[in-house]
Structure 1
Amino acid sequence: MWNMEQFVADCRTAVDQDASHKSVAEVVDRAMRDPASVTQALGEPTESGIIPIYKSTDLTIVNVIWKPGMTVMPHNHEMWAVIGIYGGREDNIFWRRVADDPEGRIEAAGARALSTGQCAPLGKDLIHSVTNPIPKLTGAIHVYGGDFFEAERSEWDPENLTEHAYDMAKVRSLFED
């Protein structure tokens, strides 16, 4: 049976022993081997949200629940992340900066779909957008190698792909609408 307090402790120990994402990825991978247990411990998602589980200067753990059809614009984290899906699906488009573009534009560079029970690391410099393409809520545990809520980072306008300062309030409102 998955236990949130033990998961936090295991992530905390992993970061204390190895500041990279590698040890945390092993912890998340173990949890996602039994996604039903994670769902049982957290509760079946009933509404979208960004629910903090743990936050420090070098580690943030968040329960992210995506509503059907929801898309979050391209953004970066300025820290590594490990994403584990405990229910539903999350489609990621990966982006790269267009060389010498004065407005910081990006272009698509790849994609990856994550389904229930899967997890994936995201590098510190990665830019991605996320969509829940299915007609039900998607639940995911996101683990970040830093303070996700306070980090200065960027987002890109979804229409013209120009870079701007990340707006956490705007992102939170996407989950609340």
Structure 2
Amino acid sequence: MVAVKYTLEDFVHDMDNLLVSQPTREKIFDRGSDCLSRLISNPDAIPGRFRQPVGSGGRANHGSWLLHHSPDSGLLVTAVVWGPGDHAAPHDHRTWGMIGVMDNALTETRFRRVDDHERTDWAQLERDRSSVVKPGEISLLIPEVDEIHQMDNFTDRPTVEVHVYGQDLRGLERVRYDLETGAIRRMMTEKYDNC
């Protein structure tokens, strides 16, 4: 008997059906995490070309690949590849998110904003926790509650993740935080490496 593997198409179908029902965030994370867990446990679910760093240009060691976007539900699915030594400074997302590791491991450090939020150009962050996220594990991003994180690949090979968000990050104004100065810098995803 041949085992049926859960595909990217299966995942998109299940997530779109879930989101159309206008679920609570809790239900999105509960059911969505189950679906994402099934997806990242299938090594063939993401084509090989989306599991490699770009290999050229300013971010040759990194890859951010659009896998699916559903304008009706807002669902966004990307593959993100962190090459050896890759780093992303603390940043927020402004939408719910689920991140599942497929290959290798990544160190994720979470932060809490502990200032009064009065200034738009400065913030005080406090380190909350740090963990090594391994294949099959999922991190949840909850806007304004638990979403500020820093990502580091301290290993000697690429790490592949599947990122799932409630809306397209292209054009969504977000911020990056400078831990040394407290400066807030506006940022926006403009494109993915394949489009």
Same fold (TM over 0.5): yes
How much does 1:107 deviate? 2.1
- Bigger relative CO (Cα 8 Å, ≥ 6 apart): 1
Contact 1:46 1:137 in 2 (8 A): yes
Matching of residue 15 in structure 1 with residue 36 in structure 2: no
Aligned partner of residue 168 in structure 1, secondary structure: coil
2:34 pairs with one of 2, 15, 26: 26
Deviates more, 1:133-142 or 1:149-158: 149-158
Structure 1 runs (4+) deviating above 6 angstroms are none
Question: Aligned letter for 1:36?
Answer: P
The 2-side partners of 1:106 and 1:98 are apart by 6
Identical pairs, percent? 23
**Distance in structure 1 (CA, Å) of the matches to 2:188 and 2:92:** 12
Q: Kindly indicate whether residue 113 of structure 2 is the aligned counterpart of residue 97 of structure 1.
A: yes
Structure 2 counterpart of 1:115: 134
Q: Separation in 2 of the partners of 1:13 and 1:78?
A: 23
Render the CA deviation track for 1:120-173: whole Å, top value 9, x for unaligned. Answer: 22212211111111110111100001122222211112542321211435x97x
Deviations 1:8-60 (A, max 9, x none): 1122112222252322222102223x24333xx42173323110111245211
Amino acid at match of 2:156: P
**Cα 1:55–1:161, aligned 2, differ >3 Å: closer, same or farther?**
farther
Question: What do you get for the CA RMSD once the two structures are aligned?
Answer: 2.3
Asked whether the equivalents of residues 171 and 188 of structure 2 are also in contact (C-alpha less than 8 Å), the reply is no
Task: State the TM-score, normalizing by the size of structure 1.
Answer: 0.84
Equivalent pairs, count: 169
CA contact 1:95–1:128 (8 Å) conserved in 2: yes
| TM-score normalised per structure 2 | 0.77
Preserved contact between residue 15 and residue 24 of structure 1 (Cα < 8 Å): no
Task: Choose 1 or 2 for highest CA Rg.
Answer: 2
Alignment of 1:3-152 (within 5 A): 3-17=7-21, 18=23, 20=25, 21-22=28-29, 23-32=31-40, 34-38=41-45, 41-43=46-48, 45-47=51-53, 48-57=62-71, 58-100=74-116, 102=119, 103-125=122-144, 126-152=147-173
Residue 156 (str. 1) matches residue 177 (str. 2): yes
Structure 2: any 5+ residue segments left out of the alignment?
Answer: 54-61
| Residues in 1 aligned to 2:133 and 2:95: alpha-carbon distance in whole angstroms | 20
More helix by share: 1
Is the 1:87–1:116 contact (alpha carbons within 8 Å) kept by the matching residues of 2?
yes
Note if contact 2:170-2:188 (Cα within 8 Å) is conserved in structure 1. Answer: no
Q: Is the Cα contact below 8 Å between 1:95 and 1:109 reproduced in 2?
A: yes
